[in-house]
Chain A
Amino acid sequence: MDEILSMKGITKVYPNGIVANKEVDFSVQKGEIHAIMGENGAGKSTLMKILFGMEQPEEGEIHYKGKKVTLNSPSVAIDYGIGMVHQHFMLVPSLTVAENMVLGIEPKRNNVFFDFDKAVRMVEEVSKTYNLDIDPNAVVLDLAVGKKQKIEILKALLRGAEILILDEPTAVLTPQETKELFEELINLKNKGLTIIFISHKLKEIKQITDRLTILRNGRSMGVYDTKDISEQEISRLMVGRDVILTVNKTDAIPGDTVLKIEDLSFYDKGNKPVVKDLSFRLRKGEILGIAGVEGNGQGELVEMITGLKKASKGKIFINDQEATKLSVKNIRNLKTSHIPEDRMVYGVAAEGTIGENLISDRYDYPVYNTGLIQRVKDLVQKSNELIDDYSIKCDGHTQQVNMLSGGNIQKVVVAREFSSDPELIIADQPTRGIDVGSTEFIRNKLVELRDEGTAILLVSADLNEVMELSDSLMVMYEGEMAAYFEDASKVDEMELGMYMLGLKKMEVKEMGGALGE
């Protein structure tokens, strides 16, 4: 097979001083599915952004079809035939599939007017050529995640892509959708396309790829034929040690109800219900997981419990006290902690120091203030304690948060939220996008807190995570409870997927366990 593309000696340093790639060599052959593996923060996405012209390397060369090329913008990369499907889709929700697909390369009638019919024909043509079925007239807004991903792939193919980069394509998919995607990818490969597949999921890689390149800490750990390397070896090369990402936990010993939700609803601006008549309870010493495809009301539920949004209907009780209309501060005073879904938006002030970020929930406590003046020394001491206890890798409490890696930023959030003696923790995507070490640390900490009697509501798009950590498990679909399992360890992944996709729904009486009935 011919080498279609090679990158040599790529080094990339970001403005905040983080070295994302260091002298990385990488090459792909025509017609293969090549995986780039590595844990979060290993530099996979950066390498691909360089290949797609979104970032410029400090050093290194890129050769494409035997010629040296300079890829200084995505449009140049597209012209060469390199296409990329991002983790977060770049689609205009209010437009149709056809309109989205031709965005930027619109067919024109008389050189002026947008030729919608031709756009539809173009889409039909490309979808037929590659055997990817899609309705060109559907509005993107109404489509499921799997379909949106298909549009992104077709978008790249329509622009003449010969190399297709997929950035963690399965992260947002249910097991059923993943299966479908893999069939499509193999089909594309058979049609001569080259596919670069970024992932850190070992099983998928073994299943679909021909070769793989492993990155660790910004460096390449070598190229391997997928069939010659075991999952264990890959994992050791990725992390540098043997990792067992299973959590050691004993059976839960639930106590009294801490959080009680009664007929809770939330209507959006268009008066559309996003959360619909939800009722459940969470007990002391128990982890209740919420599974579901993102955007099925989980975010709004969390925001209502923590006081960031006000419920449209229904009631929330925390330790028997009604909390439906309380402010964020008052809810925090009820010993509630919150790990927010997006740490950079809610979890930290990125330009603030680590110390400032660690005290935002307690800066006004009487112990930290003498009269009008803050006890700065005590606050610094507390920050240093937390940095030690949660092993936050940094130069000290005065370092800016945005100079840290994703995992360490999350540890700043977790250190603050776990150290306030919480009786209830709302953990929304607690380990999203962070390295294995930090993930292990945070998961074990959650179990530890559960054993000490904290009630934990865990929302996660990572199926492994909810299944591993939860004692009980519920599934949300379109704002409603689609399923409830008293014992999370007895749940089958495929079955869970059915509930997440709305293909199955439990009867109300089957879910009585959620209310303790």
Chain B
Amino acid sequence: MNKKILFEAMRTLVAIGVALLLAFIIIFTVSEDPGYALQRFLLGPLSSLRNFGNVLEMAIPLVFTGLAISVMFTAKQFNLGAEGGFFIGAVGATALALSFELPPIIMPIVAILCGGIAGGLGNAIPALLKSKLDASELVSSLMMNYILFWLGIFIINNYFRDAQAGAMASHRLPEQVKLIRVLEGTRVHFGIFIALLMVILVYLFLYRSRWGYALRMVGLNIRFAEYSGINTKSVVLYSQIIGGIIAGMGGAVELLGMYTRFTWFQLPGYGWDGIIVAIMARNNPLLIPVFAFFLGYLRIGADLMSRVTDVPSEVVAIIQGIMIMLVTAERLLAGWRHRMIVKEKMQNQPIDEGGVQNG
């Protein structure tokens, strides 16, 4: 078991290393001053508290969408609806914030829950289609993203739009619904604690509750789950709804922590990024914040680099792509691993009489 973890860690490191190496090569070929560009890219995020704060700010929504995706992927439900769920969650929180007046502390909690419900309802549709009609959740959740997007735009435009504002935007959010800042000199907000709380809750759910156990068994072998008497249809349903709820909460937290009005008129992309984070973390909820931070760091670093040098920030997209390809390549390093196993077995193969190994 430990060897497996070591091996997976090695694979991740190799993937990151190869991807960074390629990025360096690109930087060296396109830049007039590659040394400076590289320095901004790698160390820029650490150069000031504000820059570091930017990394944390970016990691918060990634934790939510990464968790959402990892719950669904653990059940082998390839639902890509975290994007739409995130968006509609922010819409739900806006709708609540502009419709009701509640006391401080209570109000953001209710708004986040409202966002979660909106996200959960959005994902319930592909989930129901899968469990009742056996429709591929991959296709229906992708389509659902656009449905939820336009539904959200419709709601904001028709019920909450501020006609005085220049661009399309909702009315101002009331002060008592907003999440407080927690780090002086940055925009890092209370959402960071909510994100970490969610990491723990998702971990407890997946590894310490009977529903999480059923969910994991469905993911490992659905026929085994069925044979054991686990209600697999209900797992298919609740794994996706829970994913939607987490994504929706993420959208609400992002809105209440970072914005004064609802101003998105395109999908923000955190749902897709969540897939990257979940894949890098091998769906392990405890690793989600690590890779959310890592991805945030890369993004901010590239952004800082592009601002003062001639290297565009799109370099990050290349790094991401290569990392994901290598991490998902199951056979990467398989030869090395095989030699390791052979060597170990040759040294201490027990010569027991009558004991039987598989053949």
Contact = CB atoms under 8 A, between A and B. Distances in A.
B227 A328 contact: yes
Given A15-B337, A217-B357, A364-B210, A356 B217 contact: yes
Contacts of A92: none
B358 A328 contact: no
Which has the most chain A C-beta neighbours within 10 Å: B213, B220, B357? B357
Which has the most chain B C-beta neighbours within 10 Å: A20, A41, A374, A400? A374
A109 to B, nearest CB: 42
A240 B354 contact: yes
A41 B213 contact: no
Nearest to B224: A349
B10 to A, nearest CB: 16
Interface in B312-359: 334, 337-338, 341-342, 344-346, 349, 352-359
A46 B210 contact: no
A351 B220 contact: yes
B307 interface: no
Contacts of B39: none
Interface stretch (B83-91, B134-142, B151-159, B228-236): B228-236
Contacts of A17: 341, 344-345
A399 B209 contact: no
Nearest to B229: A329
A269 to B, nearest CB: 15
A349 B217 contact: yes
A332 B209 contact: no
A373 B356 contact: no
Nearest to B356: A435
B204 interface: yes
B210 A405 contact: no
Contact of B210 (A240, A345, A350, A374): A374
B220 A349 contact: yes
Contact of B354 (A20, A46, A239, A332): A239
A43 B341 contact: no
Contact of A374 (B213, B217, B225): B213
B117 interface: no
B255 interface: no
Given A15-B338, A369-B210, A42 B224 contact: no
A13 interface: yes
Interface in A351-410: 351-353, 356, 359-361, 363-364, 368-369, 372-374, 376, 393, 398-400, 404-407
Nearest to B1: A398
A380 to B, nearest CB: 12
B178 interface: no
B229 A18 contact: no
B227 A347 contact: yes
Contacts of B346: 11, 13
B357 A218 contact: yes
Nearest to A438: B356
Contacts of B345: 13, 17, 19
A443 interface: no
B342 A58 contact: yes
A415 to B, nearest CB: 14
A20 B356 CA distance: 10
A40 B210 CA distance: 37
A92 B208 CA distance: 47
A241 interface: yes
A43 B230 contact: no
Contacts of A327: 229, 231
Nearest to B213: A363
A351 B74 CA distance: 12
Interface residues of A, number: 66
A72 to B, nearest CB: 15
Which has the most chain A C-beta neighbours within 10 Å: B208, B227, B231, B349? B227
Given A356-B213, A369-B210, A39 B356 contact: yes
B357 A328 contact: no
Given A17-B341, A329-B231, A345-B223, A376 B208 contact: yes
B239 to A, nearest CB: 16
Given A369-B210, A372-B209, A356 B357 contact: no
Nearest to A39: B356
B357 A405 contact: yes
Contacts of B228: 328, 360-361
Contacts of B341: 13, 15, 17
B212 to A, nearest CB: 8
Nearest to A407: B356
A18 B225 contact: no
Contacts of A306: 227
Contacts of B29: none
A211 interface: no
Which has the most chain B C-beta neighbours within 10 Å: A217, A327, A331? A217
B357 A349 contact: no
A332 B221 CA distance: 19
A40 B356 CA distance: 8
A44 interface: yes
A373 B203 CA distance: 12
Given A18-B358, A20-B358, A373 B204 contact: yes
Interface in A130-149: none
B346 to A, nearest CB: 8
Which has the most chain B C-beta neighbours within 10 Å: A393, A400, A407, A435? A435
Contacts of A18: 357-359
Contacts of B171: none
Interface string B223-259: 1111111110000000000000000000000000000
B93 interface: no
22 contacts: A11-B346, A13-B346, A15-B338, A18-B359, A22-B349, A38-B359, A40-B356, A41-B358, A43-B357, A217-B354, A217-B355, A329-B229, A329-B230, A345-B221, A346-B224, A349-B220, A352-B220, A352-B221, A405-B356, A407-B356, A407-B358, A437-B354
Given A356-B216, A400-B4, 18 more contacts: A20-B357, A38-B359, A40-B359, A217-B355, A217-B356, A240-B354, A328-B229, A329-B229, A345-B223, A346-B224, A346-B227, A350-B221, A351-B221, A360-B217, A361-B228, A363-B214, A373-B208, A374-B213
Interface of B: 1, 4, 204, 208-210, 213-214, 216-217, 220-221, 223-231, 334, 337-338, 341-342, 344-346, 349, 352-359
Q: Which are the 9 A-B pairs with shortest beta-carbon distances?
A: A240-B354, A329-B229, A349-B220, A405-B358, A360-B228, A43-B359, A349-B221, A435-B356, A346-B227
